[in-house]
Amino acid sequence: MYCEITYQTTGERWGIFPRDIGEFQARMSIPDSINSGDSHDTIVKKSVKIEIMSCSFTPDEKNKRHREALEGLVDRLVKAGWEQMTERGAEWYNIKFHKEMQK
Q: In degrees rounded to 5, what are phi and psi of residue 68?
A: -65, -40
pLDDT of 1 > 80? The answer is: yes
Q: What is the pLDDT of residue 60?
A: 92
Question: Is residue 69 classed as helix, strand or coil in its secondary structure?
Answer: helix
Q: Which residue has the higher pLDDT, 48 or 17?
A: 48
* % of residues, the chain, pLDDT over 70: 84
Question: Is residue 44 classed as helix, strand or coil in its secondary structure?
Answer: strand
Instruction: Grade residue 84 by pLDDT with cuts at 50, 70 and 90.
Output: very high
User: pLDDT by residue (tens digit) across 48-67?
Assistant: 999 887 677 789 999 999 99
In whole angstroms, what separates CA 6 from the centre of its chain? 3
Domain residue ranges in the chain: 2-98
Q: What is the pLDDT of residue 36?
A: 45
Residue 24's contacts (CB-CB under 8 Å, 6 or more residues apart) are 5, 6, 7, 8, 46, 47, 50, 59, 69, 70, 73, 93
Q: What is the pLDDT of residue 12?
A: 85
CA 54 → CA 50, 57, 66, 67, 86, distances in Å? 12, 6, 15, 18, 31
Rounded to whole angstroms, the Cα distance separating 98 from 94 reads 13
Q: What is the pLDDT of residue 35?
A: 46
